[in-house]
């Protein structure tokens, strides 16, 4: 093995769960995962979870969709790095997601248009749209967006480090097809983070609002033959935390775990 191969094989991707709740109440923070200190997946919580020295290391925010529980941390974060000076970030997603952000949020009404501040050439937010179902390389990390089934345009992701090992994230989604087909076929996936917002008794609300319940997720797992995969449940509405946990415990499936805020995963 060459030295370069040894370095490559020993790589570890570090995924810090800053927030993984379905609402922002009490100590619960909403979706935001920090990858290797420099890439955020969603921005449900940023400045309220990280010290200033860590903010300056973040180069990119990969966005799944435009619901506020996934974006609201972006605004104080951008304000802070603007005040710190000399730092810009790349906002990365499928083009329709970026369009919603620029038309409805960075429109000088809700928030200043940081894609032209201080100038268009040297803006604090740079936009980068990436194609569906093709890997795009963000430094050493490859991300592949997959269209999900939610109430707004939403993409889930396959995220891989340079050695090809990776994980998948459903983002917010109800029952869907393409993501689970790919989950069946993708190799070297260590785990899948999946949205379960509501308990089984609220399955109608889950379907209307584009989320899953424990039974819906388990149905997807069985239908797409994913029983050998490890799952982390995310986006639980805090008020239903115990009920949803009980439902998974009752299911007796050891491959399904609950994602915890503050937890660090490594692959
Ligand atoms: Zn959503
Ligand atoms: Zn959400």
169 membership: H or E segment, kind and range? strand 166-169
How far apart are the C-alpha atoms of 95 and 102, rounded to whole Å? 11
How far apart are the C-alpha atoms of 168 and 99, rounded to whole Å? 24
Longest dimension (CA), the chain: 57
Which ligand is the nearest neighbour of the Cα of 235? 2
Q: How many CA atoms lie less than 13 Å away from 146 in the CB half-sphere? A: 21
Q: What is the reported pLDDT for 8?
A: 52
One pLDDT digit (tens) per residue for the chain, 267 residues: 455 554 555 589 999 999 999 999 999 999 999 999 999 999 999 999 999 999 999 999 999 999 999 999 999 999 999 999 878 999 999 999 999 999 999 999 999 999 999 999 999 999 999 999 999 999 999 999 999 999 999 999 999 999 999 999 999 999 999 999 999 999 999 999 999 999 999 999 999 999 999 999 999 999 999 999 999 999 999 999 999 999 999 999 999 999 999 999 999
- The pair of three-digit structure tokens given for residue 260, joined into one six-digit string: 């915890």
Distance 69 CA to ligand 2 centre (A): 5
The neighbourhood of ligand 1, an ion, using CB within 5 A, equals 67, 172
Q: What is the reported pLDDT for 86?
A: 73
Distance 33 CA to ligand 2 centre (A): 13
Distance 114 CA to ligand 2 centre (A): 24
Which ligand is the nearest neighbour of the Cα of 42? 2
Contact between 238 and 30 under an 8 Å Cβ cutoff? The reply is: no
Which ligand is the nearest neighbour of the Cα of 97? 1
Q: What is the reported pLDDT for 10?
A: 59
Q: What is the reported pLDDT for 9?
A: 55
User: pTM of the predicted model, to two decimals?
Assistant: 0.95
Which ligand is the nearest neighbour of the Cα of 66? 1
For each of the domains in the chain, give its residue range(s) and CATH number, in order of start: 3-266 (3.60.15.10)
Provide CB contacts within 8 A for 109, sequence distance 6+. Answer: none
Which ligand is the nearest neighbour of the Cα of 173? 1
Beta pairing class for 136-138 and 141-147: antiparallel
Q: What is the reported pLDDT for 172?
A: 98
Q: What is the reported pLDDT for 1?
A: 47
How far apart are the C-alpha atoms of 228 and 151, rounded to whole Å? 30
Which ligand is the nearest neighbour of the Cα of 154? 1
Distance 173 CA to ligand 2 centre (A): 9
Q: What is the reported pLDDT for 87?
A: 87
**β-pair partners for 144:** 158
């Amino acid at each position: 093995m060459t030295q370069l191969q040894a370095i490559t094989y020993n790589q570890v991707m570090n995924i810090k769960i800053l927030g993984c709740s379905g609402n922002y109440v009490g100590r619960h923070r909403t979706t935001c995962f920090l990858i290797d200190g420099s890439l955020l997946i969603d921005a449900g919580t940023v400045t309220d979870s990280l010290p200033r020295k860590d903010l300056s290391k973040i180069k990119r925010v990969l966005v799944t969709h435009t619901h506020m529980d996934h974006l609201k941390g972006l605004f104080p974060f951008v304000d802070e790095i603007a005040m710190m000076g000399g730092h810009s970030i790349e906002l990365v997603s499928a083009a329709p997601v970026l369009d919603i952000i620029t038309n409805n949020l960075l429109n000088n009404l809700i928030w200043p248009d940081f894609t032209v501040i201080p100038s268009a050439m040297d803006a604090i937010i740079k936009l980068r749209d990436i194609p569906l179902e093709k890997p795009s390389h963000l430094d050493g990390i490859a991300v592949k967006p997959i269209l999900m089934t939610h109430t707004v345009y939403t993409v889930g992701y396959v995220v891989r480090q340079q050695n090809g090992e990776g994980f998948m994230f459903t983002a917010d989604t109800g029952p869907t097809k393409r993501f689970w087909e790919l989950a069946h076929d993708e190799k070297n996936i260590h785990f899948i983070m999946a949205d379960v917002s509501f308990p089984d008794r609220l399955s109608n609300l889950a379907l209307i609002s584009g989320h899953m319940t424990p039974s819906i997720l388990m149905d997807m797992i069985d239908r797409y033959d994913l029983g050998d995969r490890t799952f982390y449940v995310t986006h639980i509405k805090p008020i239903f935390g115990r009920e949803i946990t009980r439902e998974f415990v009752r299911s007796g499936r050891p491959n399904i775990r609950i994602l915890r805020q503050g937890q660090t995963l490594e692959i």
